[in-house]
Amino acid sequence: MGRKWGALVLITVAAGLAGCGGDGDDSGTAPAAQSLPQVTDPGPFFGQCGSVTDDEVAKAFGMPPFTGVTRNSVGCEWETAGIGGPSVTFSWYRGSPIGRERAGSELIGRPATDIDIQGHPGFIASSEGILCELGVEFGGDFVHWSVMYADAQPAADPCKVARDLAELSVSRAK
């Protein structure tokens, strides 16, 4: 058994080294170096769920009581009817460019508009009055609120809900 594993490892290493070999063109030109991501200073601390309480989210959202609240190291999600139903989501991205989130929103048909929350740039994008997402930048970090009414009749303008919750988070950042 040991010889079989040794042979397998030897074959794997040899194949890997062969794959690293050149194509026979030894023109002396080195491949372009990949640029490393720019290191930025960390933004403020937002606390769990953006320092916004379940009651504050419920009041802003205006829907029936939440059936589930998920909290983890990068954000929170409040749901009223399970996955795919009405929900509010907060996410906190450290060392991640907000432009990628904005571009993703635009790519799926939600044109983004520039906003400012307490002196911090960001974007807001919506879809047919049932979904709104809002991102606020803090150097290399950003926070993101998403409000989705799904098939339910919206109890409030989802972009107003997202903006109100973002205002709370930003005002409580440390």
* CATH number for 159: 3.40.1000
Burial 14-47 (b: 16+ CB within 10 A, else e): eeeeeeeeeeeeeeeeeeeeeeeeeeeeebeebe
H or E segment to which residue 88 belongs: strand 87-93
Which residue segment(s) compose the domain that 105 sits in? 48-172
Q: Is 42 part of any domain?
A: no
Of the candidate ranges 34-48, 60-74, 76-90, 145-159, the one whose mean pLDDT is the lowest: 34-48
In the chain, how many domains are there? 1
Is 118 part of any domain?
Answer: yes
Establish if 139 belongs to a structural domain. yes
**pLDDT (mean) for 108-117:** 96
Inside any domain, residue 4: no
Q: What percent of the chain has pLDDT over 90?
A: 68
Residue 40: pLDDT above 60? yes
Q: Specify if 20 maps to a domain.
A: no
- What pLDDT, on the 0 to 100 scale, is given for residue 12? 36
- pLDDT on residue 39: 67
Question: Tokens for 5?
Answer: 């594993």
More confident residue, 171 or 129: 171
Strand partners, 93: 142
147/153 Cα distance (integer angstroms):
13
Q: Is the whole-model pTM more than 0.85?
A: no
Whole-number Å distance between alpha carbons of 138 and 41 = 9
Average pLDDT value for residue range 86-109: 95
Specify the pLDDT at position 8.
33
**Separation between Cα atoms, residue 139 and residue 143, nearest integer Å:** 11
With respect to residue 163, please indicate whether it lies within any of the assigned structural domains: yes
The verdict on residue 2 lying in a domain is no
